[in-house]
Amino acid sequence: MTDKLFIFDTTLRDGEQSPGASMTREEKLRIARQLERLRVDVIEAGFAASSNGDFEAVKAIADVIKDSTVCSLARANDRDIARAAEALKSAASSRIHTFIATSELHMEKKLRMSREQVLEQARLSVRFARNLCGDVEFSPEDGYRSDPDFLCRVLEAVIAEGATTINIPDTVGYAIPELYGNFIKNLRERIPNADKAVWSVHCHNDLGMAVANSLAGVMIGGARQVECTINGLGERAGNCSLEEVVMAVRTRRDYFGLEVGVDVSQIVPASRLVAQTTGFVVQPNKAVVGANAFAHASGIHQDGVLKARDTYEIMRAEDVGWSANRIVLGKLSGRNAFKQRLQELGIELESEAEINAAFARFKDLADRKSEIFDEDIIALVSDESVTVEQEHYRLLSLSQRSETGERPHASVTVSAGGHEFKAESDGNGPVDASLKAIESKLSSGAEMLLYSVNAITSGSTESQGEVTVRLQLGGRVVNGVGADPDIVVASAKAYLAALNKLQSKAERVAAQG
């Protein structure tokens, strides 16, 4: 058994299945580059057969990522597997991850297949995948709720067909650490060829135990791969959180005795990028990446940390990428300095036109805000990528009037598919008035599920406000993010960004699981 623990990141596949978290090709590519900098072992880039958009995203990631294995999910059928192989063709190192459900409930109610049919399909699919790719992972979906006797037969068969990784999903987040660990241990002891594959854990967080279950799968069960997502992103209560698992194993090396290849200084930048791209904000008290994760408020703690940091700190904030908000640029900074800072932040804008547009926004921001921090630049570029890729609606101007005792009023000018229109409305507050003005012309009919405002950098009212708007229309849920020192403007941008996503034609077939 190796003492290396492989980190398999599925932010771009299982994480993306979270309602509203779906990403464009460019957004996925940007996150994939950050995951490569983070040095994760495997990036599950998507589910190539689910839509043309996801196929293109997996392909684009396979084209550029060199240091991590790029993986695509595929249902256990020839079409999905061939599509995954096609998307991964150019990857320096690739993996096909195929799955089929094995619990009685899923086989009977969802697949309407018998045990023997599922066994045969699993076997044939792994055989087919192995002919196309040397690295094949197999997952029995809802594995933890499956009959262990049947699971042993399936897993022995797929290992015999050449599966190199066996992943045991707790698809519905039902497991308890000790039970899950023993479940895997038992499978590994009973399956004669178990040692021919790396065993992997994949836990959902419905009972808040995804990280604990994953670590029990490693320590009790002997798994050597953990599937996880940045910020624990994922549908329902999310997936196992990458930063928590990695920092647990690293901080308690005395107990785990395992090595992880991750560059932990890239954790916070990755967390911010995923939060800003998806609009899923990180709760302040979230371990490792929450804004308060390293903040000591009590006097006794502050005093202790000042005397000796390890009195109350088990990890160092700077090790995981927290830096004091750095003033990086100001209004006198030139295009070259801006471009260089983008490079240092690992942001690669594809064309000179994109850099020019981002630089123009930077200058505009610097006119209104004297200190520009890294976070501001990341927000500005996220904004830019949305407009360049999928702009249909764009905010041109906004003015609003609010006065104590008066009903707020807003007027907006928006460009819609190149045509300019103006609209006005009253509202309960200036944000309400602005969004009502937009809606009065666009009549999208979308239902707002969430509206939230965050300060991008803490510590001052000069900070930019970052607004997330979640809209639902015709069964689709999307998030729009907008940033501006004026939160009314940020709100209008976020609203239009969400409408732009609803406009985009990218249809998606949700992966099972």
Residue closest to 125 by CA, chosen among 89, 146, 154? 154
- The binder of 130, among Zn ion, ligand KIV, none, by C-beta within 5 to 8 A per type, is none
CB of 455 to ligand KIV, least distance (A): 34
- Tell me: does residue 480 bind Zn ion (CB under 5 A): no
Grouping H, G, I as helix, E, B as strand and the rest as coil, residue 124 is helix
DSSP-assigned beta bridge partners for residue 496: none
Q: How many residues bind Zn ion (CB under 5 A)?
A: 2
Quickly count helices (H) and strands (E) in the chain.
Answer: 17, 16
Residue closer to ligand KIV by CB (options 227, 243) is 227
Instruction: Return the closest-CA partner of residue 412 out of 483, 492, 501, 500.
Output: 492
Residue 513 found at the interface with ligand KIV (CB under 6 A): yes
Site of tokens 């471009």: 339
Q: Is 80 in the site for ligand KIV (CB under 6 A)?
A: no
Half-sphere exposure of 75 (CA within 13 A, CB side): 13
Beta strands in 39-182 (DSSP E): 42-46, 69-75, 94-101, 136-141, 165-170
> Are the C-beta atoms of 434 and 427 separated by less than 8 Å?
yes
Least distance (Å) from Zn ion to the CB of residue 301?
37
The window from 12-20, 189-197, 304-312, 319-327 that contacts Zn ion (CB under 5 A) reads: 12-20
Which residues 114-173 are close enough to bind ligand KIV by CB under 6 A?
Answer: 139, 141, 169, 171
CA quadruple 348, 353, 357, 363: dihedral sign: positive
Q: Which of residues 456-495 bind ligand KIV (CB under 6 A)?
A: none
Contact status: 513 vs Zn ion (CB under 5 A):
yes
Query: What binding mask, one character per residue, do residues 203-222 give for ligand KIV by CB under 6 A, x or -?
Result: -x------------------
Establish if 202 lies at the interface with ligand KIV (CB under 6 A).
yes
14 binds Zn ion (CB under 5 A): yes
How far apart are CB 217 and ligand KIV at their closest, in Å?
Answer: 14
Residue 466, H or E segment? strand 465-473
Residue 22 touches which of Zn ion, ligand KIV, none (Cβ within 5-8 Å per kind)? none
- Structure tokens that stand for 480 in this block: 């729009």
What is the total count of residues that contact ligand KIV (CB under 6 A)?
Answer: 9
Of 235 and 354, the one with the shorter C-beta distance to Zn ion is 235
Selected from 8, 55, 99, 183, the binder of ligand KIV by CB under 6 A is 99
Give yes or no for residue 53 binding ligand KIV (CB under 6 A): no
Sole window of 14-22, 28-36, 413-421, 425-433 interacting with Zn ion (rule: CB under 5 A): 14-22
Q: What is the 3-state secondary structure (H, E, C) of 169-195?
A: EECCCCCCHHHHHHHHHHHHHHCCCHH
Question: Closest CB to ligand KIV among 45 and 342?
Answer: 45
Q: Does the footprint of ligand KIV cover residue 385 (CB under 6 A)? A: no
- Bridge partner residues of 397 (DSSP): 413
Residues counted in the chain: 513
Query: Pick from ligand KIV, Zn ion, none: which does 181 bind, CB < 5 to 8 A by kind?
Result: none
Closest to 151 in 3D by CA, of 188, 124, 177: 188
Query: What whole-number distance in Å separates Cα of residue 252 and Cα of residue 258?
Result: 9
For the four alpha carbons of 102, 106, 107 and 111, in that order, the dihedral sign comes to: negative
Using Cβ positions, the residue closest to ligand KIV within the complex turns out to be 513
Decide whether 202 or 493 has the Cβ nearer to ligand KIV.
202
Q: Say which entry of Zn ion, ligand KIV, none residue 99 contacts (CB below 5 to 8 A, set by partner kind).
A: ligand KIV
Locate 336 and state its tokens.
């070259």
What letter would DSSP give residue 95?
Answer: E
Q: Which is nearer to ligand KIV, 145 or 501 (CB)?
A: 145
141 binds, among Zn ion, ligand KIV, none (CB under 5 to 8 A by kind): ligand KIV
Backbone φ/ψ region at 201: left (φ over 0), alpha (ψ -120 to 50), beta: beta
Q: Could you please report the per-residue DSSP string of 354-413?
A: HHHHHHHHHHHHHHH-S-EEHHHHHHHHHHHHHHHHH-SEEEEEEEEE--TTS--EEEEE
Measuring CA to CA, which residue among 118, 149, 130 is closest to residue 84? Answer: 130
Give the contact letters, 1-40, x = binds to ligand KIV (CB under 6 A), - = no.
-------------x--------------------------
Is 180 a binding residue for ligand KIV by CB under 6 A? The answer is no
Q: How far is the CB of 275 from ligand KIV (least distance, A)?
A: 21
35 or 228: CB nearest ligand KIV: 228
Residues making contact with ligand KIV (CB under 6 A) = 14, 99, 139, 141, 169, 171, 202, 204, 513
Residues making contact with Zn ion (CB under 5 A) = 14, 513
